[in-house]
Amino acid sequence: MRRRTRSAPSVGILGVGYMGIATALAFAARGRTVFAHDINPKVRASLRRGRSPYDEPGLAQLLRREVRLGRFRVLDTVDELAQRAECIFLCVPTPARRDGAVDLGPLRTAVNALGRAIRAARGYRVVVVKSTVVPGTTDEVVEPLLRRASGKSTAALSVAVNPEFLSEGRMVEDAMRPARIVVGARDPRARQRLRRVYAGFPAPVLELTPSGAELVKHGSNEFLALKVSYANELARWSEQLGTDVDTVVEAIGADPRIGTAFLRAGPGFGGSCFDKDLRAFARRGESLGVAPRIPGTVLAVNRDQTAHAVELIRSAVPSLRGRTVAVLGLAFKAGTDDVRETRALPIVERLVADGARVRVHDPSAVENFRALWERTGRTGAVQFSRSVGNALADADLAVVQVDWPVYRRWKPAWSRRMRSPIVVDLRRGIDGRLAARAGLTVLALGRGSAVGPGPGGRPRGRERR
């Protein structure tokens, strides 16, 4: 006689941003029935039509498939979500306040609304905090608020933490095939339900307390940001010593205790996580009497690296005033249209302040950057280009801020369109042999034969390939 296998619990996603949509579709692709709700009606309408509001590799195709198969369904109310989903993931934003602490306003609003909806729901529910919060938030804020709003006892409602470890530009891959699944829960029933939800995912499930799981998330982000900043400091060493930062970090990363992941120098990290999470982690540590030093140091290195990138750009021409500069790449990294904390913004701001005429291009993030730039109040100071060729027309200088594949395949015709075929490559994506064939002079961050600082502390004698 065959044993009946229990079907996986239905999944609810509250908040369908970058992280929420990737999480939802990964569950749907594994055969779960997924219900999703977002406060933004435009997002709901787009998702219902199978159109992704976000540009991520593989996301649009996966969304269309799961909508067609009926495994991903968009709901108009939180009440419907609470009724139909047995395991509900909170994927709402946790933005930074001006003082660096986390703004829990959106999370509190979502928890209150969900709690009131669960009050009328029948059966056992597990609410899972997937939003990034500082350690202690679920125990001290989320669970008490949820229990007050729902009126549910521990017999009918459990609360757990399940942090995300998604990297933009590969969110679908990371959600479908995570390296590990971290679960923070005290209730054995919640742990069991999450194991069933994640059944079939090729990853170990690591079980901790809620605060322990929250600490894993923040500790991971701090360490990754530290690796990026360490590579950026090595880039400055490499420029002064006339070596190549990529060969240096490759040799360092060959040590299995270190590894090469995130040892990649550039103009500084951006994105929605590192800056915000480091500040929040530091504030939380201070409140606990830990007095953390690493977050502040990493953030200072990141600021210095962006300033260093600007100095490298300035060193390429006698003066930026009146020059036409094309900035190629506006997202915070390749593979995404996300411009949150992109280094393109401070770089463009400083070029404009130096009197340059700036043109910008990105294969995916132009409109998002346009909206970001307009919020600075400097409308008209930047020209947005639809093609690389238009951005480079009569340019005195080009800056590669993101190593999109299209820029790595530099065309000789692009060099001919420029007034001066000089590129400052902040990601070292343009191959030296290709540059030679294209008649291009490239100054690459992290590569050089600098023999000492020139006037004003600027590097001098950099390698031009």
Q: What is the DSSP letter of 9?
A: P
d(CA 189, CA 157) in angstroms, rounded, equals 10
The vertex-425 CA angle with 413 and 438, nearest 5°, equals 25
Catalytic residue among 24, 62, 159, 273: 273
Q: Where does 316-429 have alpha helices with state H?
A: 344-353, 366-374, 388-392, 405-408, 412-417
d(CA 47, CA 63) in angstroms, rounded, equals 8
Number of neighbours of residue 330 by Cβ within 10 angstroms: 30
Which H or E element spans position 425? strand 422-425
d(CA 2, CA 427) in angstroms, rounded, equals 58
Q: What are phi and psi of 12, to 5 degrees?
A: -115, 140
Q: What are phi and psi of 105, to 5 degrees?
A: -55, -55
Whether residue 184 contacts residue 209, with contact meaning beta carbons closer than 8 Å, is answered with yes
Active site residue 273: yes
Q: How many Å from the N-terminal Cα to the C-terminal Cα in the chain?
A: 73
Whether residue 169 contacts residue 272, with contact meaning beta carbons closer than 8 Å, is answered with no
- When computed from its CA atoms, the radius of gyration of the chain, rounded to whole angstroms, is 24
Q: Which long-range CB contacts under 8 A does 197-203 form with residues at least 24 apart?
A: 197/8, 197/9, 197/11, 197/27, 197/32, 197/87, 199/8, 200/30, 200/31, 201/26, 201/30, 201/177, 202/177, 203/177, 203/178, 203/179
Q: What are phi and psi of 331, to 5 degrees?
A: -65, 170
Say which residue the tokens 């690459």 belong to.
Answer: 444
Number of neighbours of residue 372 by Cβ within 10 angstroms: 17
Scored b (16 or more CB within 10 A) or e, 59-89 reads: beebbeebbeeebbbbbeebbebbbbbbbbb
Question: How far apart, in Å, are the Cα atoms of 141 and each of 4, 116, 301?
Answer: 39, 16, 33
Question: How far apart, in Å, are the Cα atoms of 56 and each of 47, 177, 347, 453?
Answer: 14, 16, 24, 41
Question: How far apart, in Å, are the Cα atoms of 315 and each of 84, 458, 461?
Answer: 60, 7, 10
Query: So which residues are the catalytic ones?
Result: 273
